[in-house]
Structure 1
Amino acid sequence: MIARVFGTAAIVASLLGAAAAVAQEQDLPIVRLGLLQYGTVNWEAKTIVDEGLDEKYGFELEIVPFAGGDATKVALMAGNVDVTTDDWLMVSRQRAMGDPLVFIPYSTSIGAVMAPCEGDIQSLEDLEGKTIGVAGGPLDKSWLMLRGMASESGMDLAAATTPVFGAPPLLTEKLRQGELDAVLNYWHYNARLETEGYCEVISAQEAARSFGAEGAVSAVGYVMNEEWAEENPDLARGFVDASRDAKEVLAESDEAWERLREMTGAENEEVFQMLKQRFREGIPTSTPTQERDDTAIVYNELAKIGGEQLVGPATEMAPGTFWSGLESGS
């Protein structure tokens, strides 16, 4: 009889413990991450959820999909999401106008010029007289960085070439059809081209180094409101830590990538492996201080070329653009 009572008590205690665990899980604060519906940042976000890294750091990640980049910015400004993605140019410009946004490096995979491997374009100088597709428009930072690099050797890249601005998938197809001599495109489009006989001619990272950057500069990062981060320091730090851990998983685990296979949209195994390789190469390795300083160097060069239309009133990168929590580690 006593044994039966103790046994029943143990079962009840176990059930209460399980219920408490569920309640605790349900009570976790939510971090709302606004992302482009088909953007590659979704790969890391899904990994955070799949691996339980959000729960590990005391929050529940809610991925909020958007159709366009402008919509994510509006949602962040309105407080409808807590974190989104963009670049340091946008963050610095907004800080200079009074919006306390901060930037957290996500990926150093940046734009590069692609051309047929066996063609006559093997260097930046070889682009003279050629028609080049440029994704992102005349103020795309990779395009401006290459223009700045070319100017160091006396070449006006915009005048020496015929740039055609357009959407990344369209430009990729025009290159395949031979209507463009080369294309400056985003990394995941370039990864696909690498499996089709196209090679990287020059990248924006090479331009950054020509300006004086010592390490790789992130092309995109997470963006949050500094006031939200100050009000929710554990959530802000927890999100950054979960992102770091997810990158470690994706850097080492092929099994984790298998769960992302469909999401990558890879047309075949070769494309899938190339996307995985290039993603891993884009994981930032510089210290926060080093990347901040390198980015400031690049920013100064871009401000000279793009002017106020690009950087707004901030001729230098606005102080605090990179989140201070990255350096303090707290």
Structure 2
Amino acid sequence: MMISRRATLRLAALGTAAALVSRPSFATAPSFATTRVRIGVLKFGTVSWALDTMKQHKFDAANAIDLEIIDFAGEDATNVAMLAGAIDMIVSDWLWVSRQRSEGVDLTLVPYSTAVGAIMAKEGAPIRTITDLKGKKIGVAGGPLDKSWLLIQALARRDHGLDLPAISDIVFGAPPLISEKAMQGELDAVLNFWHFCARLEANGFRRLIGADDAAKALGASGAVSALGYVFHDKWANENPDAVRGFIKASAQAKDLLARSDDEWLRLAPIIRAQGQELAKLRDRYREGIPRRPVAEDAADAGRLYRVLAEIGGDKLVGRAPEMAPGTFWQELPK
């Protein structure tokens, strides 16, 4: 969502301060100098899993940062707080960062996750390919400008000559509602965020096509980060050790999540899943850990940006036909 500077300042003045709720730290105060890093996250979002792991095992303190996790009720509130300078970091996507940069805001990001949503159908449903979606009732989370939905539309148009919004009954809704309606059989297929898809997989649904499949078919050479840790260039330039420390601590937390099943059992109450559902969330999360050099990720994002700009238009990207330089942060040589 695009937020004007005037709206940003007004919203920040009215509500941002009230929205911030800092979580208690697991770690005792370290005995050496640290830099505080304030990160805003959705209270029940998947980002909290990695951050909780980071705090629980004191990876932040080991890398000379004191991570302060601040909960927000919604994505718009985190964006407002970021733009207003109330926090140092959030998680968002490169489309939003690029649009901000194209309008003069010095935001940049470091890849966080390549996990993306997929179109899901019940195991027994007679839906096997994109062409089978013709005339079907499809639930879509994230709204008409969700980039996963746009990528799948672009692929359907290019390879099958199908205009999915024109030939199907599209229903937009919040992710939990979309999943609930799918489980109740009120929708023939759904496109939801990755973690909702993982829960559906554990409950009798299968993947028809993922946004990652569409991205590769449309020119990406590998798994592209959907989300990244977002911060201001100015802040990074003033706190280079804090940025490096955070990136290293994040990598250590993800490495633990990649190899330790016990860590997922510890997180189960936070994730609110168990058994097959927890296992499916664990496996899909692990698949989404970025593995490529940032330069490769940025190059593929640039290719997909052009596809998305063509189908999403000014409402999605503004007047910038290309992804803004510097959208992906790459540390300058020392």
TM-score (structure 1 length as normaliser): 0.90
Counterparts of 1:42-57 in structure 2, within 5 Å, are 42-57=48-63
What is the DSSP-based 3-state SS (H/G/I as helix, E as strand, rest coil) of the residue aligned with 2:31? Answer: helix
Cα distance between partner residues in 2 of 1:257 and 1:329: 36
Q: Percent identity of the aligned residues?
A: 50
Check conservation: 1:97, 1:313, Cα contact below 8 A: no
1:237 aligns with 2:237: no
Counterparts of 1:210-229 in structure 2, within 5 Å, are 210-229=217-236
1:302 aligns with 2:308: yes
Cα distance between partner residues in 2 of 1:179 and 1:285: 38
Tell me which amino acid in the other structure corresponds to 2:172: F
Cα distance between partner residues in 2 of 1:115 and 1:211: 23
Displacement, 1:23? 7.0
Check conservation: 2:30, 2:61, Cα contact below 8 A: no
Count residues in correspondence: 306
Equivalent of residue 29 in structure 1, options 35, 48, 51? 35
User: Which of these two proteins has the greater Rg computed from alpha carbons?
Assistant: 1
What is the DSSP-based 3-state SS (H/G/I as helix, E as strand, rest coil) of the residue aligned with 1:260? Answer: helix
Q: Relative to 1, partners in 2 of residues 1:62 and 1:25: Cα closer, same or farther, differing over 3 Å? A: farther
Displacement, 1:253? 1.2
Q: Which residue does 2:157 correspond to in 1?
A: 151
Check conservation: 2:108, 2:230, Cα contact below 8 A: yes
Cα distance between partner residues in 2 of 1:233 and 1:169: 39
Cα distance between partner residues in 1 of 2:121 and 2:164: 16
Displacement, 1:26? 7.4
Tell me which amino acid in the other structure corresponds to 2:150: L
Q: Which residue does 1:287 correspond to in 2?
A: 293
Check conservation: 1:147, 1:157, Cα contact below 8 A: yes
Equivalent of residue 180 in structure 1, options 182, 187, 210? 187
Check conservation: 1:133, 1:164, Cα contact below 8 A: yes
Cα distance between partner residues in 2 of 1:256 and 1:210: 35
Cα distance between partner residues in 1 of 2:106 and 2:150: 26
Q: Relative to 1, partners in 2 of residues 1:23 and 1:182: Cα closer, same or farther, differing over 3 Å? A: closer
Cα distance between partner residues in 2 of 1:211 and 1:140: 16
Cα distance between partner residues in 2 of 1:72 and 1:89: 16
**How big is each residue's C-alpha offset from its partner over 1:297-330, in whole Å with a ceiling of 9 and x where there is no partner?**
11110000001110112111000000022xx576
Structure 1 stretches of at least 4 aligned residues deviating more than 4 Å after TM superposition: none
Q: Which residue does 1:324 correspond to in 2?
A: 330
Q: Relative to 1, partners in 2 of residues 1:178 and 1:228: Cα closer, same or farther, differing over 3 Å? A: same
Equivalent of residue 208 in structure 1, options 199, 212, 215? 215
Q: Which residue does 1:191 correspond to in 2?
A: 198
Displacement, 1:28? 2.2
1:248 aligns with 2:239: no
Cα distance between partner residues in 1 of 2:130 and 2:30: 57
1:101 aligns with 2:107: yes
Displacement, 1:27? 4.8
TM-score (structure 2 length as normaliser): 0.89
- After superposition, the CA RMSD in angstroms is 1.4
Counterparts of 1:63-78 in structure 2, within 5 Å, are 63-78=69-84
Q: Which residue does 1:3 correspond to in 2?
A: none
